Chains A and B, each alone.
Chain A
Amino acid sequence: MNKKKDKGFESPRPFKLTHQVVCINNINFQRKSVIGYVELTIFPTVVNLNRIKLNSKQCRIYRVRVNDLEAPFIYNDPTLEVCHNESKQRNLNYFSSAYTAAVSAVDPDAGNGELVIKVPSELWKQGDDLKVLKVYIEFSLDQPKGGLHFVVPDVEGSMAERGAHVFSFGYQNSTRFWFPCVDSYSELCTWKLEFTVDASMVAVSCGDLVETIYTHDMRKKTFHYVLPIPTAAPNISLAVGPFEILVDPYMHEVTHFCLPQLLPLLKHSMSYLHEIFEFYEEILTCRYPYSCFKTVFVDEAYVQVSSYASMSIFSTNLLHSPMIIDQTPQTRRCLAQALAQQFFGCFISRMSWADEWVLKGISGYIYGLYLKKTFGVNEYRHWIKEELDQIVEYELKMGGVLLHPTFSGGKEKDNPTPHLHFSIKHPHTLSWEYFKMFQCKAHLVMRLIENRISMEFMLQVFNKLLSLASTASSQKYQSHMWSQMLLSTHAFLKSISNVSGKDIGPLIKQWMCRDQSGVVKFFGSFAFNRKRNVLELEIRQDYTSSGTQKYVGPIKVTVQELDGSFNHTLQIEENSLKHDIPCHSKSRRNKKKKIPLMNGEEVDMDLSAMDADSPLLWIRIDPDMSILRKVEFEQADFMWQYQLRYERDVVAQEEAITALEKFPTPASRLALTDILEQEQCFYKVRMQACFCLAKIANSMMSTWQGPPAMKSLFTRMFCCKSCPNIVRTNNFINFQSYFLQKTMPVAMALLRDVQNLCPKDVLNFILDLIKYNDNRKNKFSDNYYRADLIEALTNSLTPAISINNEVRTVDNLNPDVRLILEEITRFLNMEKLLPSFRNTITVSCLRAIRQLQKNGHIPSDPSLFKAYAEYGHFVDVRVSALEALVDYTRVERSSADLQWLLDMVQSDPVHYVRHEILGMLCKNPPFTKSADSGLCNEALVDQLWKLMNSGGTAHDWRLRCDAVNLYYTLFGLTRPSCLPLPELGLVLNLKEKKAVLNPTIKPELGVSVVMDTPASIGIHGVGISYAAVDEEPDPVSLGVCGVGQPPQGLKRKAETPLGSPPEPGQILQHQEDDGRAGRYKIRFNTMEEEDIDMETVHDSQAFIHHQLNLLERPSTPGKEPPLVEQSLLSTPATLPPLFSKETPLLSSKHSSKEKDRDRDRDRDRDNSYAYSNSPASGRSLRSPSLSD
């Protein structure tokens, strides 16, 4: 391994931050504004530090002083508007690359920033002695659109009485939205935080509250916080509001905050937090790293859970009273997640984005351990299966999820994920769904590592990482120990090999390499060879379709035979499909003998269903889910039935249930019914069995005997003995029964008779359940149960018989539907008078009404949903109303309603709702790229383009990516087909000196998007390199392709003295459009030829566009074009020396060359600065102070 890497982290910045003061003097709730200042204490790491780049978005900066001297600065945020000038491009490829470039241009992990401060020349000398600099910045925020969220209810009274509050939020590193900082997870420093707020408010922030002091007029107070543990800026947060304070009765260092009137709920919801604390501290054998912990529950939260150093911000909707069943486990899960992230994510931070998976993986993994302990092994395995199914489904649909974006195994390609329409090189360009799957995969891979090295070692590794970090955290800055608190993939893997002595290289390679990202798809089938008494198992793989990969290695197969259960480990190799597994038992079953199961239990089975010749009961492939896979296994129906009845693993039972859907036989019915009745069986399996039974019943419609499926079962379990048509008064003390009681009617309503209608007696049965529902004697609320009964009514709906499309009126309402509608009306109206918890009933009713509309029973009309979607309703209600509206938009192709939704995306005060709308539009799009639709018009393209390009999404990364997703769903990667043809049909290809058809006209472009960041380049062998990162001069400034100059002219040989493995060799930058959105590309010498081809089309296209734009643009004075031109022309001449560093393999020479390198680096930096006028890094060149 590379020695240089062992040295730990090297900052991409020419200075190191040691301490930061954030002081917010004034928070005005009326005007939604904030005024304050920050002071950063930095140590220059180079002589002559003359530029300081910081992150800051949307802040208005009043003054900047460095060591009390006024310092000039420029402030430029290229992400505000991604593509400039009304470009006619409109294709997503173009946007994505421009967006990636914009994000990289201010990426703190590459040493960039929006705010560039020029260090006054007086201090340059000081820089020689590497003295401390203090950067003082005064700023204000006015009606922030991101970063801070103000919730100010519009009622009478003071702000405190109104419950007004403000809190910070963001997706990944978003602290720059509310104060200037180095917004990187890898730049740690200590903090002093001061917040002056109204006397009736509380300011909760990170670290220890040292003191609270009144201001002189006694109307305000100042909260002073100190955070002595080095923490990255993105882990700093703030919440201010008239919170009610609850000190945890079990742990006095833990304080909970909630909005007024919710204290009783808070008390209940937090009553088990101490158990989670104890659990984590015990398994990690490590104290909670911070001296205190705070939980704050806020309204209109961005996400349910967000963790920051020593505090977590939750959605207030997680609070619940003791009467609520369903919310309880969910809230506990959220708390456990938050706490897991306190250890890994907040206390231990990451080195770069590529290492995010380690943190997400570890926190997800220990959260899983908590689940296992609290909710039981069944719940845990069920959860793992759920997560696995999710990732499998996503990867098969969208292609692989790459955990380590710069982790390259063998051959290099510039874009590791050509199947995606966004770049994965930055967290801020990821689609939300992808990010969720990323987290999911991370913890699954972590579990695979556990499988390989055992849990004991795993926990030892975590403990080691934590103790290293806590030792480092108590050190002074000068000891350079802080980087121990940053976790990297490399350090993690090394720690694993040190602790366990095992090589997990193959495993990592399998699941994290870019070539192999994806899941394994197995198809299994078998035959029993009676003569040899051998099971001939055939396992095939599909590794050609997208999102799949080939698996080579061991796989576990469990065979349940008459004489017991046997595990076999097979070796999956390139060409071997068939595996012979010798059987242990003869196919005799004359003797009545108990059959031993895997867990040692011995059971009696009725073996009459079996094949008389075979001793095989059932077979399972990879029962422990130790591969990220999808298995499609063929075995006979009776085998599935045995598996369902007798296999004790819930995953196997669930698989069996899924498989049995294909075998609608009385035997399957019996097996499912038995499972349903079996109280020892895991309740989620029983719930799943309900739905399977409904499906089977529908397939067996003609031969079905007896009452409708589940009806007699339900009657037996939940109805009165004396009068079977009346349900017992509710008593939900047994939760298994409760969940079953909730689910069965929902599943029953899916039954259909020969006319494809819901059977009359099922409907009446459900109506009776509603009628006789009596919760007076129940300790728990029945709101979820009633909501499910409404869902059952919804499920029972079938399309109306429409006679020549007449308008739906009350008179021609089907009598059954009339009954349903009456119930729904009554429920919905009662909810206004006696609202249920989280308004679950309204949510169900809205869904039901939409279903009634969709099936043509009542006139389709969006106005009701619009009323419920308005701001001011409970968020669940809004989302469900919006869901109905999205569906309405699709079905009715209503452009007015689509417009209404898009307007809401732009203007709604709640970020979560905006995100949800776009998410739902993507899931249920009004039209797609493949289908023509009247909705698809130029205005819509413009609007969406504007939405993602600038508009409403510039202050919310997540929302912008949602908009990109929607654009992709609607129009695909290329130019939307509804747009008129671009001006030029032919493009001159300058490289190959020929003309080609303008690629934008082609229906689908075969060329992948080129997206790359400067920071992520080389990988050597299996290890991961950081070395390349910091020494890479800002590529933006490296090669700038002049007008009319073919790109080849810029190629340069890398200094690779020993012919090292693939090294970043050439860096090219192409000018696109008017050159603002620079696209650059990092080349590797082995790949040159191919790359050029890939670029050709884009380059020429961009070049033509650029020229066109130059012509088209009126020459307004003061606009940038001339400057850009200048910089374009001037750059090639002054290219900085490239790649002065030695390759990692030459690390022996490392120390001797250190000085040279430093000098070179400095020069690079200076040079790079000089060209930061270049398009990708900025556009506002108006500040005269910057002209060098």
Chain B
Amino acid sequence: MGDSSAASGTSLNSSGRGAKAASSPAENYQLARRRTLQVVVSALLTESGFESAEKAAVETLTEMMQSYITEIGRCAKTYCEHTARSVPTLSDTVVTLIEMGFNVDTLPVYAKRSQRMVITAPPVTNAPVTPKSLSAGQKRTHPSHIPGHFPEFPDPHTYIKTPTFREPVSDYQVVREKAATQRRDVERALTRFMAKTGETQSLFKDDISAFPLIAARPSTIPYLSALLPSELELQTLEETDSSEQDDQTDSENAAGNVIADDPSADKENSVLPPGGVVPSTKASEDNVIDNPYLRPVKKPKVRRKK
């Protein structure tokens, strides 16, 4: 039953197409089943006293029949999975039939009715060959402590780790070379792309595509992009902020040079200055700062209103 449900599912999909050209063995198989169903429907019709039927009617009935059986199969499978099994049992089917409003008790009587027609078994067709998954290596057998009914081990390649022993490139020159080339390639590709997709200016009259320059576009507030550090730079800054570079600062400063003030001033912003009373109390003081620009704006005096 489960098998048929799965098969009919696919037959539904491919039925429209299958009539025209049934090439694959799976489709052949399904067509054969369908034909059997049709025979069954016709037999039932004959049994009920019809002498002839339109093709469309037979088709419809076949469809209904197929749907019904499919539904039984699907439900039965669901019930069985619900109880954590993989193959439906009789009781699953019975429950299903009951669920679908079918009186199970009438079934044996019906099955044994006198006028029933015996239909020959469908012509033997090859069951579709499910393509075998590529098996790689020897599957492992269960160790002794695992009962035999447990599923088999999957293919070894899915769980076995294969260490690769190729030496990572640690040669400094090569790394730098690679990094530089990579960056250059990325930049070139990116700029080429931008140049291709947007307006360009050219340095040569004869060959406009030779050295394409992305066209200069005036911006409304040019100073923003020129002054604010780009996100990339900010990122680098965050990364290097805590790096060892700061440690060097002090020793370099001690050398006593002319702009030695700069790094120390820069440090003041990131690190608290040695006698840093001011900035440490800054946060708390912010509230007390009496700066005229921070005072609230006054409401106009009422008497002024006239």
**Cα distance A867–B177 in the bound complex, in angstroms:** 36
- A321 lies within 8 A of B229 (CB): yes
Q: Does A535 contact B (CB under 8 A)?
A: no
CA distance A852 to B204 in the complex (A): 12
Contacts of B141 in A (CB 8 A): none
In contact, B195 and A829 (Cβ under 8 angstroms)? yes
A213 at the interface (CB under 8 A from B): yes
Q: Write the nearest CB–CB distance from A885 to chain B, whole angstroms.
A: 14
**Would you give the shortest CB distance from A797 to chain B, in whole angstroms?**
14
- Given A376, A821, A874, which contacts B222 in the complex, CB threshold below 8 Å? A874
Known: A212-B295, A779-B245. A328 touches B262 (CB 8 A): yes
Question: Complex Cα distance A810/B212, Å?
Answer: 12
Q: Tell me which residues across on chain A come within 8 A of B207, comparing CB atoms.
A: 809-811
* Residue A1117 at the chain B interface, CB threshold 8 Å: no
Tell me whether B291 and A837 are in contact (CB under 8 A): no
In the bound assembly, the distance between CA atoms of A292 and B291 in angstroms comes to 9
Q: Look across to chain B and name the residue whose beta carbon is closest to the beta carbon of A834.
A: B230
Q: Contacts A155-B221, A216-B300; is A778 near B240 (CB within 8 Å)?
A: yes
A329 on the B face (CB < 8 A): yes
A838 within 8 A of B: yes
A875–B293 Cα distance when bound, in Å, is 31
Q: Which residues of A contact B191 (CB under 8 A)?
A: 825-826, 829-830, 833
Residues in chain B near residue A550, CB distance under 8 A = none
- Give A719 Cβ to nearest chain B Cβ, in Å: 11
CA distance A199 to B222 in the complex (A): 25
Interface residue B13 (Cβ < 8 Å from any Cβ of A):
no
Counting CB contacts under 8 A, is B206 at the interface?
yes
Q: With an 8 A cutoff between CB atoms, is B236 at the interface?
A: yes
- The verdict on B261 contacting chain A, using a C-beta distance below 8 Å, is yes
| Contact call B212/A825, Cβ cutoff below 8 A | yes
Complex formed: what's the CA distance from A771 to B183 in Å?
9
How many angstroms from the CA of A835 to the CA of B289 in the assembled complex?
37
Take A249-B279, A834-B232 as given contacts and tell me if A376 and B258 are in contact as well, using a CB distance cutoff of 8 Å.
yes
Residues of A with C-beta under 8 A to B201: 863-864, 867
A215 at interface, CB cutoff 8 A: yes
Q: Nearest B residue to A328 by beta-carbon distance?
A: B262
Does B237 lie within 8 Å of A320, measured CB to CB?
no
Which residues from 261 to 286 on chain B have a C-beta closer than 8 Å to any C-beta of chain A?
A: 261-263, 265-266, 268-270, 278-279, 282
Per-residue CB contact flags for chain B residues 172-185 toward chain A (1 = under 8 Å, else 0) read 11001101100010
Whether A859 pairs with B269 at a CB distance below 8 angstroms is no
Q: Is the CB–CB distance between B268 and A214 below 8 Å?
A: no
Whether B245 and A771, one on each chain, are in contact in the complex, defined by CB atoms closer than 8 angstroms, is: no
Which of B99-107, B126-134, B248-256 faces chain A? B248-256
One of A154, A833, A873 near B190 (C-beta < 8 A): A833
The segment out of A16-24, A260-268, A955-963 that lies at the interface is A260-268
Is B35's CB within 8 Å of the partner chain A?
no
Instruction: Report A984 CB to chain B, min CB distance, Å.
Output: 51
A867 and B216 in contact, given A262-B227, A835-B226 (Cβ under 8 angstroms):
yes
* A153→B220 contact, CB < 8 A: yes
Q: Are A779 and B203 in contact (CB under 8 A)?
A: no
Interface residues on A, range: 35 or more
Give the distance to chain B from A707, nearest Cβ to Cβ, in Å: 20
What B residues does A153 contact at CB under 8 A? 220-221
Cα of A153 to Cα of B222 in the assembled complex, Å? 10
**8 Å CB interface, A249-276 against B:** 249-250, 252-253, 255, 259, 261-262, 265, 267-268, 271-272
17-74 of chain B: CB within 8 A of chain A? none
B213-A864 in contact (CB<8A):
yes
B298 proximity list for chain A (CB < 8 A): 211-214
- Residues on B with beta carbons closer than 8 Å to the beta carbon of A322: 237, 266, 269-270
For residue A1111, CB closer than 8 A to chain B, the reply is: no
Chain B residues 208-260 with CB under 8 Å of chain A are 210-216, 218-230, 232-233, 236-237, 239-241, 243, 245, 248-249, 252, 255, 257-260
Docked complex Cα distance between A210 and B293 (Å): 10
Contacting residue for B228 out of A262, A379, A734, A736, CB 8 A? A262
What is the chain A residue whose CB lies nearest that of B298?
A: A213
Provide the bound-state CA to CA distance between A872 and B225, in Å: 12
Take A271-B268, A733-B248 as given contacts and tell me if A155 and B220 are in contact as well, using a CB distance cutoff of 8 Å: yes
B1 CB-CB contact with A under 8 Å? no
Neighbour of B176 across the interface among A213, A292, A774, CB < 8 A: A774
Instruction: Among B221, B225, B248, find the residue whose CB has the most chain A CB atoms closer than 10 A.
Output: B221
Q: Is A609 an interface residue (CB 8 A)?
A: no
Can you list 18 A-B pairs with a CB-CB distance of less than 8 A?
A163-B221, A209-B292, A245-B293, A255-B293, A271-B269, A292-B292, A299-B221, A317-B226, A329-B259, A379-B258, A722-B172, A722-B173, A771-B184, A778-B236, A834-B232, A859-B205, A867-B216, A874-B223
Q: Which residues on A are within 8 Å of B, measured CB to CB? A: 153-155, 162-163, 199, 202, 208-216, 221, 245, 247, 249-250, 252-253, 255, 259, 261-262, 265, 267-268, 271-272, 292, 299, 316-317, 319-323, 325, 328-329, 374-376, 378-379, 679, 682-683, 720, 722-723, 726, 731, 733-736, 771-772, 774-779, 781, 807-811, 821-822, 825-826, 828-830, 832-835, 837-839, 849, 852, 858-859, 861, 863-864, 867-868, 870-876
Known A736-B258, A808-B204, A833-B190; further 11 A-B contacts with Cβ < 8 A: A209-B293, A265-B227, A320-B227, A323-B237, A374-B261, A376-B258, A775-B236, A807-B205, A868-B216, A870-B216, A870-B218
